[in-house]
Amino acid sequence: MGAAYFYHLTRAPLEATLPLLLSKARGAGWRIAVRGIDETRMEWLDAKLWLGDEEAFLPHGRAGQPHEADQPILLTTSEALANAPDCLMTIDGAAIAPDEVNQLERVCVLFDGHDDAAVQTARGQWKALTDAGCAAQYWSEEAGRWEKKAESG
């Protein structure tokens, strides 16, 4: 039974934070799906993940492309998890179901702390998941480093 970790982004943007979390998840031996809500945004994220030094390269692919099931990191807007991940990371308020939290090792919810709508969506997701009995943690980088601020379950 997994847990949902909520990451409140206030200092570093998504394109800086997501690769760090992906690297940690890959270090744990996990396959990951990154779920968003907009194909254009996922194209942008795909391009960002191809940048950077070779030592930090994160092998990934897009849903709907050849070999999607083989990807260690799959970028998708679908609720279907074609690469059978251990971890689901959501961005931009993408939907999460309690069953996903319970079936996966981890679900990570990344949300922009400078966007009131994103904060409200994350609060609603926290309430829905914890009301369904899912374990959850809330992490903030407000103090300059990641700190766990709340835990449920």
pLDDT in tens, 8-46: 999 999 999 999 999 999 999 999 999 999 999 999 999
* CB-CB contact of 15 with 48 (8 Å): yes
Average pLDDT across the chain, whole number? 94
pLDDT over 90 (residue 142)? no
pLDDT of 53 reads 63
pLDDT of 116 reads 97
Residue 68 zone, left/alpha/beta (φ > 0; ψ -120 to 50; rest)? alpha
Question: How many domains are there within the chain?
Answer: 1
pLDDT digits (tens, 9 = 90+) for 109-137: 999 999 999 999 999 999 999 999 999 99
Q: Model confidence at 57, in pLDDT bands (50, 70, 90)?
A: confident
| Full residue range of the structural domain in which residue 128 is found | 3-152
* CB-CB contact of 111 with 119 (8 Å): yes
